[in-house]
Structure 1
Amino acid sequence: MKGKSLLIIIGIIVLLAFPLIGSYNSLVTSNENVDAAWAQVENQLKRRADLIPNLLETVKGYAAHEKEVIDSIASARSMYAGAKTPQEFAEANEGLNNAIKSLNVIVENYPDLKANQNFADLQVELAGTENRIATERMRYNDVVKTYNTRIRRFPTNIMAGIFGFDKKQYFEINQQDAEVPKVNF
């Protein structure tokens, strides 16, 4: 009788352990999904940062005296290079967006620049990269939402608390960057 009771207790423990293991593994998977999505955001931000020096060199040839705008773009790119967290990347993104808006003003002042094939190709690449960034940012925020929801739901929140799964930060932009820049031809 004693052996049978022991087997029943072991059976109950095993039955309770499987959902806990599944819950833990689910949290690990969600955490990895967030990290992978963030890596894609970083990848696209890096692509944009790598395009900017080529764009600047092309613009320099036409607008050598627009040093202030060129310097602000270089500074914003450096800020991006030093970013580590989603918040720092959001701030760097804001700086790059503002610098690119200033660059667009220069382009309007130099009609020959718009006709330059190198500049046109770089603008197309930059526009494509901006779309990729928006897509990856959206994907990242989606997986962060899923993860944050999972770690807050009962009973998974208990497992998340025990193993230190913390809330992840969304990649957000400020209201000014959400506005469409005005371009006059």
Structure 2
Amino acid sequence: MNNKGCFGIGTIGLVLIGVIALVIFWGIGIRNGFVGSEQNVNEKWANVETVYQKRANLIPNLERTVKSYAKFEQETLTKVIEARSKATQVTIDPTNMTEADLAKFQAAQGELSGALSRLMAVVEQYPNLKADQQFIDFQREYTAIENSIRAETVNYNAAVKEYNTSIKVFPNNIIANFSNFKEKPLFKADAGAEKAPEVFTE
């Protein structure tokens, strides 16, 4: 009788150990999925930063080209240069990004976008500058980069939505809260963001 009792308790114990092991491995698998998803978000953010930096890197060439036209409105160019300086000073740690961080980043980049748009409109008054090969090259690169910015921010948002969903659904949210995985902020579309940048040509 005692042997049977011990055997029965041992079996129950083994079953419990097996269940606990399964739960632990399940939790580890879920957590590893969060890590992979978060790394994907970080990679997409790095791509966003890269294309914005490429745009900022275009400004010195634009400045040299425009300055060669002495009568060009200096104030308009100065605003572009100042906006570029502000935009390049805003940096974000993607592992601890908040909505406020992203809003500050977008505001700085939006200010540069606006300054560049105003400069492009003013250039219309300067046919010689419009026809300058260096300015034409700038326009071509600028348009390509603006298109890349739109594509990369869309890719980032898609990665964030997938990650945020994965950590919010039950029972994943239990593992996420226990492991301190937090929601990531999304890019908010600017007014007119769906439109391609205008390129002024002859």
Question: Any idea what the Cα deviations from partners look like across 1:100-125, whole Å, max 9, x if unmatched?
Answer: 11111221010011111111011101
Report what 1:66 is aligned to.
73
Q: Tell me, what secondary structure is at the counterpart of 2:124?
A: helix
User: Contact conserved, 1:97 with 1:177, CA < 8 A, in 2?
Assistant: no
Question: Which structure has the larger Rg over C-alpha atoms?
Answer: 2
Question: Any idea what the Cα deviations from partners look like across 1:15-67, whole Å, max 9, x if unmatched?
Answer: 11121111101111111111110000000000000011111211111255512
Paired residues in the alignment total: 185
Aligned partner of 1:104 among 109, 116, 120: 120
Higher share in helix: 1
The 1:181–1:117 alpha-carbon spacing in structure 2 relative to 1, beyond 3 Å, is closer
The 1:16–1:105 alpha-carbon spacing in structure 2 relative to 1, beyond 3 Å, is same
User: Following TM superposition, by how much is the alpha carbon of 1:129 offset from its aligned partner in structure 2, in angstroms?
Assistant: 0.4
Return 17-26 or 60-69, whichever deviates more.
Answer: 60-69
Share of identical aligned residues, percent? 40
- Code of the aligned partner of 1:150: S
Report what 2:88 is aligned to.
81
Aligned alpha-carbon RMSD (Å): 2.0
User: Contact conserved, 2:34 with 2:166, CA < 8 A, in 1?
Assistant: yes
User: Following TM superposition, by how much is the alpha carbon of 1:182 offset from its aligned partner in structure 2, in angstroms?
Assistant: 7.6
Q: Return the alpha-carbon distance in structure 1 between the equivalents of residues 51 and 196 of structure 2.
A: 20
In structure 2, runs of 5+ residues without a counterpart are 1-6, 92-100
Report what 2:4 is aligned to.
none
Return 61-70 or 76-85, whichever deviates more.
Answer: 61-70
The answer on 1:40 being equivalent to 2:47 is yes
Q: Return the alpha-carbon distance in structure 1 between the equivalents of residues 166 and 48 of structure 2.
A: 22
User: Following TM superposition, by how much is the alpha carbon of 1:174 offset from its aligned partner in structure 2, in angstroms?
Assistant: 3.1
In structure 1, runs of 5+ residues without a counterpart are none
Q: Return the alpha-carbon distance in structure 1 between the equivalents of residues 86 and 65 of structure 2.
A: 22
User: Contact conserved, 2:147 with 2:196, CA < 8 A, in 1?
Assistant: no
The 1:183–1:14 alpha-carbon spacing in structure 2 relative to 1, beyond 3 Å, is closer
